[in-house]
Structure 1
Amino acid sequence: MKFKVLGSLGVEVDGHFHPIRGGHQRVLLAVLLVNGGRLIPAEELYGELWGEHPPVTVENALQAHVSRLRRTLQSLGPGAPVLLTRSTGYSLEFPAGDLDLNVFRRGVGRARAVMDRDREAAAGLLAQVLGLWRGTALQDVAGGPLCQSVAVQLAEEHLAATEDKLWLDFEREVPLAIGELKRMSVVHPWRERVTEMLMLALYRCGRQAEAIETYNAARARMVAELGTEPSPQLRELFLDILNQSPACAGTGKGARPAPQPA
Structure 2
Amino acid sequence: MKFKVLGSVGVEVDGRFHSIRGGHQRVLLAVLLVNGGRLVAAEELYTELWGDRPPVTVENALQAHVSRLRRTLHGWSDGGCALISRSTGYSLEFAAEDLDMNVFRRGVAQARAAMAPDPARAAHLLSGAMGLWRGAPLQDVAGGLICQSVAVQLAEEHLAATEDKLWLDLEREVPSAIGELKRMSIVHPWRERVTEMLMLALYRCGRQAEAIETYHAARARMVAELGTEPSPQLKERFLEILNQSPACAGTAANRTARPALAPELV
- For 1:91, what is the secondary structure of its paired residue? strand
Identify the residue that residue 88 of structure 1 maps to in structure 2.
88
Read off the aligned partner of 1:10 and give its amino acid letter: G
Q: Deviations over 1:201-238 (max 9, x none)?
A: 00001100000000000011111111111111001000
Identify the residue that residue 123 of structure 1 maps to in structure 2.
123
- For 2:252, what is the secondary structure of its paired residue? coil
| Pairing 1:47-58 to 2, within 5 Å after superposition | 47-58=47-58
CA contact (8 A) 1:170 1:176 kept: no
| Pairing 1:169-180 to 2, within 5 Å after superposition | 169-180=169-180
* In the alignment, structure 1 residue 13 sits paired with structure 2 residue 10: no
Structure 1 residues 80 and 118 mapped into 2: Cα distance closer, same or farther (>3 Å)?
A: closer
C-alpha deviation, 1:60, in angstroms: 0.7
Alpha-carbon distance in 1 for matches of 2:10, 2:42: 23
Q: Deviations over 1:122-153 (max 9, x none)?
A: 00000111100000100111431110000000
Structure 1 residues 119 and 129 mapped into 2: Cα distance closer, same or farther (>3 Å)?
A: same
CA contact (8 A) 1:40 1:89 kept: yes
Alpha-carbon distance in 2 for matches of 1:79, 1:14: 15
Structure 1 residues 227 and 8 mapped into 2: Cα distance closer, same or farther (>3 Å)?
A: same
What 5-or-longer segments of structure 2 have no aligned partner? none
Identify the residue that residue 62 of structure 1 maps to in structure 2.
62
C-alpha deviation, 1:53, in angstroms: 1.0
Read off the aligned partner of 1:216 and give its amino acid letter: H
Identify the residue that residue 156 of structure 1 maps to in structure 2.
156
- Normalised by the length of structure 2, the TM-score is 0.95
Alpha-carbon distance in 2 for matches of 1:187, 1:2: 32
Identify the residue that residue 100 of structure 2 maps to in structure 1.
100
C-alpha deviation, 1:255, in angstroms: 5.3
- For 2:7, what is the secondary structure of its paired residue? coil
Identify the residue that residue 112 of structure 1 maps to in structure 2.
112
Identify the residue that residue 34 of structure 1 maps to in structure 2.
34
- For 2:17, what is the secondary structure of its paired residue? strand
* In the alignment, structure 1 residue 4 sits paired with structure 2 residue 4: yes
Identify the residue that residue 182 of structure 1 maps to in structure 2.
182
- For 1:82, what is the secondary structure of its paired residue? strand
C-alpha deviation, 1:247, in angstroms: 0.3
Alpha-carbon distance in 1 for matches of 2:77, 2:106: 27
Q: RMSD across aligned C-alpha pairs, in angstroms?
A: 1.3
Alpha-carbon distance in 2 for matches of 1:252, 1:15: 42
Identify the residue that residue 234 of structure 1 maps to in structure 2.
234
CA contact (8 A) 2:80 2:95 kept: no
C-alpha deviation, 1:105, in angstroms: 0.4
Alpha-carbon distance in 2 for matches of 1:255, 1:166: 13
Q: Deviations over 1:4-49 (max 9, x none)?
A: 0001111001111101111111110000000000000001111111
Identify the residue that residue 195 of structure 2 maps to in structure 1.
195
C-alpha deviation, 1:174, in angstroms: 4.9
Structure 1 residues 256 and 203 mapped into 2: Cα distance closer, same or farther (>3 Å)?
A: farther
Identify the residue that residue 259 of structure 2 maps to in structure 1.
259
C-alpha deviation, 1:170, in angstroms: 1.0
Structure 1 residues 135 and 230 mapped into 2: Cα distance closer, same or farther (>3 Å)?
A: same
Read off the aligned partner of 1:81 and give its amino acid letter: C
Identify the residue that residue 204 of structure 1 maps to in structure 2.
204
Alpha-carbon distance in 1 for matches of 2:8, 2:254: 45
CA contact (8 A) 1:111 1:126 kept: yes
Structure 1 residues 248 and 256 mapped into 2: Cα distance closer, same or farther (>3 Å)?
A: farther
Alpha-carbon distance in 1 for matches of 2:235, 2:11: 47
C-alpha deviation, 1:256, in angstroms: 7.0
Of 60-69 and 75-84, the range deviating more from structure 2 = 75-84
- Normalised by the length of structure 1, the TM-score is 0.97
Alpha-carbon distance in 1 for matches of 2:251, 2:99: 38
- For 1:54, what is the secondary structure of its paired residue? coil
